[in-house]
Amino acid sequence: MASLQLVPIQKKTEVPPELWLEAAVLPCVLSVDVPLRQFTVRDLLQLEPGSVVESKNVNGADVPVLVNTRLIGWAEFEVMGHRLAIRVTELA
């Protein structure tokens, strides 16, 4: 019969700052999920600069922000000059 062995709980270890510097340059994919109403492949192929697309989100509602497919928080859209930006409002 096998005997059980108790394993002590390991404390959280501090990550040395130099390891964070190495990780800071790793590539990642940032995405914002915006559900669209009745959006088809034809609509996608007809997109042009300045096109307006109707979303299912209520105006001003936060949208999920993902990094490498993992949810990291929520954001709202904001216009910065001639660009559309997101402002992170809450971290997951």
Burial tier of 52 (Cβ tally within 10 Å: 0-12, 13-18, 19+)? exposed
Residues in the chain with pLDDT < 50?
none
Report helix, strand or coil for 79. strand
Beta bridge partners of 33: none
Res 1: pLDDT: 56
From the candidate CATH numbers 2.30.330.10, 3.40.50.300, 3.40.50.1860, 3.30.420.40, the one assigned to the domain spanning 29-36+56-92: 2.30.330.10
Res 48: pLDDT: 93
Res 89: pLDDT: 93
